[in-house]
């Protein structure tokens, strides 16, 4: 009978450690839950009524204790398998081993997806409970960013969780850059000694009022919704998803629960898929926002997402030289770190926001003259990190100088 090894059982702690160390949502990752079945755990909700006026004529006021045992089911069910040919293992000095495959997959695929699922689930829960604001990212400035972050920390019941020291704030790189240069406070720039006797400057803001700040540099993970079924696997921002500016959550009531069901490794000859090593990985996980213990309301999260529409406004007028057209993106302002690209032809298919931009697009600046054919169409897109489309224009008719 073919022999297989469940490496999830043998490496449970190592794999959990790899997840914790490689994810931005690691403060919320937990395995401290009581499982009812393979994918279900329970959480007890309790609330009590408060004091009533005491009557000195005798007797006590009877209150009520409401308790409910709620079952939570993991919903993010994923799997993958890889077949590594035996010759490839021999020719690569066995770098394609079970440990290397697991480490590479965990760091480059699993961990980013864990973050993406976490951020989007918390964001959607916040939106569903009215704990959100919509703010154009381009409206943030060095003069208002600090005040806006302070206001978010004071919204709703978040100040209670801040006092307890359980809040974590995630911000986009644009927000972090503006905060670093904020005009609302005086900062101390720290000089650090680096290798070979050099000096490094450290000016990043690491917390606000005791709340840790975590910068999301890889903003492909920072959207309100994701599509976890693209053709090539992995994940992409869903159609209509909004980029997150700021996300706040409490470690008391927000939990990312991973449950690694199985990681199997079959040596050559122990399976019928080919002459090679077969690796299989399946995992359950889920993100859960629990209500408070007073009135069973969700009040420990908050999200601010980019309210800028998905449309770019583009104009085309006669340029300086014959055959040139002056192309201008009149609004909105280009988000820092993003780039404009265009395509012009007799007919141009408008791509979908939130998907990766394909080939055939040319980088552009605005305003600028481009040699284009009068009467053709031009479409401009704004592309962010990883080639994901943030905004797109309608198809505009080109007007070039005769």
**Domain extents for the chain?**
5-48+65-305, 311-397
Any residues with CB less than 8 A from the CB of 309 and at least 6 apart, and which?
332, 391
| Residue 78 phi, psi (nearest 5) | -130, 150
Cis bond upstream, residue 367 (ω within 30): yes
- Residue 177 per-residue DSSP state: H
Residue-level pLDDT at 33 = 65
CB 338 within 8 A of CB 390: yes
| Mean pLDDT score across all residues of the chain | 82
Query: In this predicted structure, what is the pLDDT of residue 104?
Result: 81
**Number of DSSP helices (H) and strands (E) in the chain, helices first:** 8, 24
List CB contacts of 306: < 8 A, sequence separation 6 or more.
134, 135, 136, 137, 242, 243, 244, 245
> With pLDDT > 70 as the criterion, what percentage of the chain qualifies?
79
User: Burial code of 301-327, b = ≥16 C-beta within 10 A, e = fewer?
Assistant: bbbbbbebebebebebebbeeeebbbb
- In the prediction, which pLDDT does 127 show? 93
Q: What tens digit of pLDDT does each residue of 129-175 get?
A: 999 998 888 778 888 999 999 999 988 899 999 999 999 999 999 99
Give ∠ CA 280-286-290 in degrees, rounded to 5.
Answer: 165
pLDDT of res. 232:
82
| Whole-angstrom distance, CA of residue 350 vs CA of residue 192 | 49
Q: What is the mean predicted confidence (pLDDT) over 371-398?
A: 88
CA distances from 77 to 232, 283, 319 (A): 17, 6, 55
pLDDT at 121 over 90: yes
CA 383 to chain centre: 17
* Residue 41: band (very low, low, confident or very high) from pLDDT cuts 50, 70, 90: low
pLDDT band at residue 223, thresholds of 50, 70 and 90?
very high
Rounded CA Rg of the chain: 26
DSSP 3-state of 242: coil
Distance CA 227, CA 229 (A): 6
Label residue 295 by pLDDT band (50, 70, 90).
Answer: confident
- The pTM of the full predicted model, rounded to 2 decimals, is 0.68
CA 113 to chain centre: 8
């Amino acid at each position: 009978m073919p022999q297989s090894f469940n490496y999830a059982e043998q490496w449970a702690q190592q794999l959990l450690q790899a997840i914790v160390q490689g994810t931005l949502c690691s403060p919320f990752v937990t395995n401290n839950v009581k499982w009812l079945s393979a994918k279900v755990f329970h959480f007890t909700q309790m609330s009590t009524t408060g004091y009533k006026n005491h009557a000195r004529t005798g007797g006590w006021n009877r209150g009520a204790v409401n308790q409910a045992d709620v079952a939570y089911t993991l919903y993010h069910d994923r799997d993958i398998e890889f077949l590594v040919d035996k010759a490839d293992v021999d020719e690569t000095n066995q770098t394609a081993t079970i440990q290397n495959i697991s480490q590479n997959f965990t760091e480059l695929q699993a961990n980013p997806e864990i973050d993406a699922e976490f951020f989007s689930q918390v964001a959607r829960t916040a939106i569903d409970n009215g704990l959100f604001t919509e703010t154009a990212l381009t409206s943030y400035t060095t003069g208002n960013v600090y005040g806006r972050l302070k206001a978010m920390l004071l919204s709703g019941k978040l100040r209670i969780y801040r006092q307890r020291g359980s809040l974590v704030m995630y911000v986009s790189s644009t927000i972090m850059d503006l905060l670093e240069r904020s005009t609302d406070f005086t900062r101390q720039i720290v000089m650090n000694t680096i290798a070979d006797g050099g000096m490094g400057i450290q000016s990043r803001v690491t917390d606000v009022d005791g709340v840790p700040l975590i910068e999301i540099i890889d903003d492909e993970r920072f959207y309100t919704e994701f599509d976890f079924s693209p053709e090539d696997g992995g994940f992409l921002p869903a159609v209509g998803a909004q980029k997150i500016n700021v996300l706040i959550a409490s470690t008391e009531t927000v939990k990312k629960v991973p449950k690694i069901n199985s990681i199997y490794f079959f040596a050559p000859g122990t399976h019928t898929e080919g002459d090679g090593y077969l690796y299989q990985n399946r995992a359950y996980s889920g993100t859960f926002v629990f209500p408070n213990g007073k009135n069973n309301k969700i009040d420990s999260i908050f999200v601010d997402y980019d309210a800028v529409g998905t449309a770019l406004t583009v104009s085309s007028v006669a340029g300086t030289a014959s055959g040139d057209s002056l192309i201008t993106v009149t609004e909105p302002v280009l988000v820092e770190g993003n780039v404009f690209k265009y395509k012009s032809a007799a007919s141009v298919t408008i791509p979908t926001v939130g998907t990766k931009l394909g080939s055939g697009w040319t980088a552009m600046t605005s305003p600028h003259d481009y040699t284009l054919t009068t009467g053709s169409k031009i479409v401009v897109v704004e592309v962010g990190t990883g080639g994901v489309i943030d905004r797109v224009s309608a198809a505009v008719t080109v007007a070039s100088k005769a």
